[in-house]
C-alpha cells in the first residue's frame, strides 16, 4: 500500500483536519517542538500555558528569565533540566545570529535551514522537521513515534527502520505541498493517538484494518 492511499483513507475517515499543531506564534512552535521530546502533548500544553501566562513568548524573554524559574514553568513536560537549557541555548543562538528575528532564519531554503537546525544541540531530525513544517511552514515531512508504529504494523517497513529511510518511504508519491504534509502528519497523529495505540490498538475500528498485517493477525 502506498502513502497516498493511506492518506486518502484517513482523510475520508477523519475528515479534513488541516494542521493539528497550534501555530499562533512561530517561536511558540519551536518551544513546543523542544518540549514535546519524550513527552505527551497534554503535558506540553500545560508548560506552554505557564509560559504564556508569564508572557514568555520570545527568545529575549526566554533568555532573560532565570533558569530555575524556567525549569519550574516547564516542569510538566518532563526532562525539564535538559529542556530548560536547550530553550536557553536556542534562544541565545537566535538572538546572536538573527537578532531574535525568526523570519531571517526561515528565509533560508529548506535544505540549509534543516542543516542549520540539526547543528544545534538537542535538535534531532524530528524536532528540526517539526520546526520546518509548522513554524517555518515549509513542506518537510515529520516522522514521529505514531507514524513509525503505524507503518511498521501495516507491514510496510521494518520497525527498526531509521528516521531518514522511513521519511523517504513515506513521502514517495505524496505531492510535496505544505498543506498535504501538515494534514497527513495530523491524520497519522489522530490514528496513532486514538486507534492505533501502543497498547491494545482498536483494530476493529480502524479504517486501515483490511490492509494491515498486524490488524489481520489480531482479529484472526
Ligand atoms: S489495523 Fe490495528 S494495528 Fe493496523 S493500523 Fe489499524 S489500529 Fe493499527
Nearest CA to ligand 1 atom 2: 203
> What pLDDT sits at residue 8?
96
Calculate mean pLDDT across residues 172-187: 94
Ligand 1: centre distance to CA 14 (Å): 15
Multiple choice CATH, 26-135, 3.40.50.720, 1.10.340.30, 3.40.50.10190, 3.40.50.12500 = 1.10.340.30
- Per-residue burial over 177-205, b if 16 or more Cβ lie within 10 Å, else e, is eeebbbbbbbbbbbbbeebbeeeebebee
Calculate mean pLDDT across residues 68-90: 95
Calculate mean pLDDT across residues 48-52: 93
> What pLDDT sits at residue 23?
62
Calculate mean pLDDT across residues 116-127: 93
Share of the chain above pLDDT 70, in %: 96
The C-alpha cell at 73 is 514553568
Question: What SS3 class is residue 105?
Answer: helix
Q: CB–CB of 146/188 below 8 Å?
A: yes
Domain chopping of the chain, boundaries: 3-18+142-218, 26-135
Nearest-10 Cα torsion for 201, 205, 210, 211: -50
Ligand 1: centre distance to CA 50 (Å): 36
> What pLDDT sits at residue 54?
92
Atom of ligand 1 nearest to the CA of 212: 4
**Is the pLDDT confidence value at 72 over 60?**
yes
Ligand 1: centre distance to CA 164 (Å): 23
Q: Which position has the higher pLDDT, 23 or 39?
A: 39
pLDDT bin (cut points 50, 70, 90) of residue 37 is confident
Ligand 1: centre distance to CA 52 (Å): 37
User: For residue 160, with 0-12 CB atoms within 10 Å meaning exposed, 13-18 middle and 19 or more buried, which class applies?
Assistant: exposed
Q: Which position has the higher pLDDT, 31 or 17?
A: 31
**Is the pLDDT confidence value at 83 over 80?**
yes
CA distance 176 to 155: 24
Residues with CB under 6 A from ligand 1: 150, 153-154, 195-196, 201, 203, 206, 208-209, 212, 214-215
**Which residue in 56, 61, 90 sits closest to 73, CA to CA?**
56
> What pLDDT sits at residue 220?
54
> What pLDDT sits at residue 16?
83
CATH architecture of the domain formed by 3-18+142-218:
Orthogonal Bundle (1.10)
Q: Cell numbers 513509525 correspond to what residue?
A: 148
Amino acid at each position: 500500500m502506498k502513502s497516498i492511499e493511506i492518506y486518502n483513507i484517513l482523510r475520508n475517515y477523519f475528515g479534513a483536519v488541516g494542521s493539528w499543531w497550534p501555530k499562533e506564534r512561530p517561536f511558540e512552535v519551536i518551544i513546543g517542538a523542544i518540549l514535546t521530546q519524550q513527552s505527551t502533548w497534554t503535558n506540553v500544553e500545560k508548560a506552554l500555558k505557564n509560559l504564556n501566562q508569564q508572557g514568555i513568548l520570545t527568545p529575549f524573554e526566554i533568555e532573560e528569565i532565570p533558569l530555575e524559574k524556567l525549569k519550574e514553568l516547564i516542569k510538566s513536560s518532563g526532562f525539564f533540566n535538559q529542556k530548560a537549557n536547550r530553550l536557553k541555548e536556542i534562544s541565545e543562538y537566535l538572538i546572536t545570529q538573527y537578532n531574535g528575528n525568526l523570519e531571517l532564519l526561515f528565509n533560508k531554503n529548506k535544505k540549509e535551514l534543516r542543516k542549520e537546525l540539526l547543528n544545534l544541540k538537542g535538535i534531532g531530525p524530528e524536532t528540526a522537521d517539526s520546526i520546518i513544517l509548522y513554524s517555518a511552514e515549509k513542506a518537510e515531512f515529520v516522522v514521529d513515534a505514531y507514524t513509525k508504529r503505524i507503518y511498521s504494523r501495516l507491514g510496510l517497513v521494518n520497525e527498526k527502520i531509521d528516521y531518514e529511510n522511513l521519511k523517504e518511504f513515506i513521502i514517495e508519491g505524496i505531492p510535496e505541498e505544505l498543506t498535504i504534509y501538515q494534514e497527513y502528519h495530523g491524520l497519522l497523529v489522530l490514528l496513532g493517538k486514538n486507534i492505533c495505540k501502543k497498547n491494545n490498538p482498536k483494530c476493529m475500528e480502524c479504517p486501515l484494518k483490511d490492509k494491515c498485517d498486524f490488524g489481520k493477525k489480531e482479529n484472526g
